Amino acid sequence: MFGDLDLGVAVVAALLTGVVLLVVLRRRGPRRPPCAAGWIPWVGAGLRFGKAPLEFIEQARAQYGPIFTIFAMGNRMTFVTEEEGIDVFLKSKEVNFELAVQYPVYRTASVPKNIFLTLHEKLHMTMKGKMGTFNMYQFMGRLNEEFHEQLEDLGPHGTMDLISLVRCLLYPVTVNVLFKKGLIVSHKRKIEDFYWHFQIYDEGFEYGSQMPEWLLRNWSKSKRWLLALFEESIPDIKAYKPERDDCATLMQAVLDVVEGEADRHSASYALLMLWASLSNAVPITFWTLVFILSHGDIHKTIVEGISSVLGGAGREKITVSEDKLKKLLLIKWCILEAIRLRAPGVITRKVVKPVKILNYTVPSGDLLMLSPFWLHRNPKYFPDPESFRPERWKEANLEKHVFLDGYMAFGGGKFQCPGRVISTWWVSPSRKDDAELNINIGMMFARPQEGQGLLEEPHHQPLTWHLACRRGDVTPTHTRLAHDSHSN
């Protein structure tokens, strides 16, 4: 009995000694950033952080200063908010983008680590080239044709929520242009099934990137449905030839790279590209419309500009070109300003070697985090940051795709978003199509909820849109904004 007691005392003493040594060594070691950790092991500050992450980030910045760490769900996330930390985030060789996103990619699309790390840079270069400035002409004709077809399918009149309208237009347009025309409707499954499964997949993407699939049954089912769709469709996508030109689609260019290295994972990369395109195009378009229609003077100026550049009433089809859109700079400013106000909550890098920022050393293994959402609200870069002011973009050199200082919506560094050039052009034709619709709001207009990021679903937005598509007698200046003061 006494032997067992002595053994227990020895174990406790050893543990206490280890804790003391750990504390002493930490004090003698490099100074780490202040940490919001919570008291629950592994969970840390996860419960508070998960309830309202953007607000929690800003509260931590106010409490701890320009660099701080949040420990949550087993991860150390170190946030940087000022120039020195941002420079390290974008330029340091001690931080790595691919290692930061590899695990979420595996969770959401079943791409193994070795395959992702092998193909990522090749795919990034391929997509960057395919969607670059000199290849824009390949997309403009297809976009014109697809938007006109979708407008015709809407019928002469109808009623739907704004977000549903945007999805109804952009889901088929995006898939037809980037993947293969008729990919969705060529299958026996109804197009509504595709919409339903993609929305579940998109809405649960953040949870799916971190949690086991058995905890997310509906999300997992939709993921498998989409993967099966692409498994079945890959041969047709490869064989597809656009009617009007011989240029390969973006997905065909991606498949050329993937199938040379990892043939079995073609469907996984198709799913990733589907999510990357739709989860950005839809909310960007939605918020751009919301902001424009909530500012009557801006809306009027845009409609008058469209009439001047693209022609007035009585034209069956309006043809949009890159040169014409360059004359409608206010549209592009509105898109960039909407993205600024609804930017991603965070972007990340993995620290591979300890890196010094200000007076702190960030240890290897940390996730270095930057919040475009809050950076875009820094009055140093954006005066009156909460206001929708598209005219601020006069100062940017958009001809050379140089954005305003502090603008981080498309990331930065080596792996900046390859679609940053095409993204604004993609939304512009949908803005043009709005001039062909007489749109009225049938319920009280609600401003976007504070704290909602670009990639977040607009919740409970009380907008009902009445569409009256006019073919021969459309007068763009008739488009008006109205509200019913008795609605909730």
SS3 sequence, 215-227? Answer: HCHHHHHHHHHHH
Domain boundaries of the chain, sorted by first residue: 1-30, 31-111+345-375
For the entire predicted model, the pTM comes to 0.82
Torsion of Cα atoms, 426 then 427 then 432 then 438, to 10°:
140
Determine the pLDDT at residue 400.
84
pLDDT band at 323, cuts 50/70/90? confident
Determine the pLDDT at residue 452.
39
Q: Positive or negative CA dihedral for 143, 148, 154, 157?
A: positive
pLDDT band at 153, cuts 50/70/90? confident
pLDDT in tens, 45-104: 999 998 999 999 999 999 999 999 999 989 999 999 999 999 999 999 999 999 999 999
H or E element at residue 21: helix 2-28
> Rounded mean pLDDT of 413-418?
80
| CA distance linking residue 6 with residue 25, whole number of Å | 28
Sheet holding 440-441, edge to edge: 157-161, 464-468, 440-441
Straight-line distance from the first to the last Cα atom of the chain, in angstroms, rounded to the nearest whole number: 74
Which range, of 57-66, 195-204, 417-426, averages the lowest pLDDT?
Answer: 417-426
> Rounded mean pLDDT of 133-154?
84
Determine the pLDDT at residue 319.
80
Most confident of 254-258, 414-418, 422-426: 254-258
H or E element at residue 9: helix 2-28
Higher pLDDT, 403 or 318: 403
Most confident of 225-229, 277-281, 414-418: 225-229
Contact 434, 469 (CB under 8 A): no
Which range, of 26-35, 185-194, 267-276, 289-298, averages the lowest pLDDT?
Answer: 185-194
- Cβ-in-10-Å burial (0-12, 13-18, 19+) of 30 comes to exposed
> Rounded mean pLDDT of 308-331?
81
Determine the pLDDT at residue 28.
54
Which range, of 133-137, 378-382, 450-454, averages the lowest pLDDT?
Answer: 450-454
Higher pLDDT, 325 or 458: 325
Q: Is the pLDDT of residue 437 over 80?
A: no
pLDDT band at 484, cuts 50/70/90? very low
Give the β-pairing of 355-357 and 360-362. antiparallel
Instruction: Give the CATH fold of the 31-111+345-375 domain.
Output: 3.30.43
| CA distance linking residue 212 with residue 9, whole number of Å | 40
| CA distance linking residue 8 with residue 1, whole number of Å | 11
> Rounded mean pLDDT of 413-430?
67
> Rounded mean pLDDT of 466-477?
33
pLDDT in tens, 370-394: 999 999 999 999 999 999 999 999 9
Paired strand residues for 351: 95
Q: Is the pLDDT of residue 342 over 60?
A: yes
pLDDT band at 435, cuts 50/70/90? very low
Which range, of 62-76, 95-109, 247-261, 433-447, averages the lowest pLDDT?
Answer: 433-447
| CA distance linking residue 345 with residue 334, whole number of Å | 20
Q: Is the pLDDT of residue 474 over 50?
A: no
Higher pLDDT, 312 or 230: 230
Q: Could you give the angle at the alpha carbon of 142 between the alpha carbons of 137 and 143, nearest 5°?
A: 95
> Rounded mean pLDDT of 119-140?
88
Contact 483, 323 (CB under 8 A): no
* 3-class DSSP state of 469: strand
> Rounded mean pLDDT of 276-295?
93
Contact 45, 17 (CB under 8 A): no
Determine the pLDDT at residue 442.
28
Give percent of the chain with pLDDT exceeding 90. Answer: 57
Q: Where are the alpha helices (DSSP H) in 131-190?
A: 137-154, 162-178
> Rounded mean pLDDT of 219-240?
96
User: DSSP character for 77?
Assistant: E
pLDDT in tens, 11-42: 666 666 665 555 544 555 689 999 999 889 89
Among all chains, which residue has been given the structure tokens 């579940």? 200
Determine the pLDDT at residue 333.
97
Determine the pLDDT at residue 9.
63
Contact 52, 451 (CB under 8 A): yes
Q: Is the pLDDT of residue 310 over 90?
A: no
Task: List, in order, residues 6 or more apart from 204 with CB less than 8 Å away.
Answer: 216, 218, 219, 222
Determine the pLDDT at residue 466.
45
Q: Is the pLDDT of residue 440 over 70?
A: no
| CA distance linking residue 468 with residue 156, whole number of Å | 6
pLDDT in tens, 166-182: 998 999 999 999 999 98
DSSP letters for 81-143: -SHHHHHHHHH-TTEEHHHHHHHHHHHHH---HHHHHHHHHHHHHHHHHHTSGGGTHHHHHHH
469 in a known ligand binding site: no
Determine the pLDDT at residue 420.
65
pLDDT band at 451, cuts 50/70/90? very low
Higher pLDDT, 159 or 378: 378
Determine the pLDDT at residue 430.
54
